[in-house]
Amino acid sequence: MRAKVNGAERELSPGTSVGALVNEMAADAKAVAVAINRAVVPRKEWSAVQVQEGDDIEIIAPFHGG
């Protein structure tokens, strides 16, 4: 299955949860937020929400600067 993650097409296994994707992509899963198709996915739902074919996923990490 294909989905767009942070602007790049990725091949994902069917049934991939948001939590599994975050663990694969982010060094510190506690410091990120996730949106699928522009809708924020609450952290408590990450293990239950599965990525679907064609989803547009943004994994957003805070950064310091000014």
Residue 64 has pLDDT above 80, yes or no: no
Q: Is 11 left (phi over 0), alpha (psi -120 to 50) or beta?
A: beta
Compute how many other C-beta atoms are within 10 angstroms of the C-beta atom of residue 7: 8
Domains of the chain by start residue, with CATH: 2-60 (3.10.20.30)
pLDDT tens digits, one per residue of 1-45: 999 999 999 999 999 999 999 999 887 888 999 999 999 999 999
Per-residue pLDDT at 66: 60
31 vs 52, which has greater pLDDT?
A: 52
Q: Cα–Cα distance between 60 and 6 in angstroms, integer?
A: 8
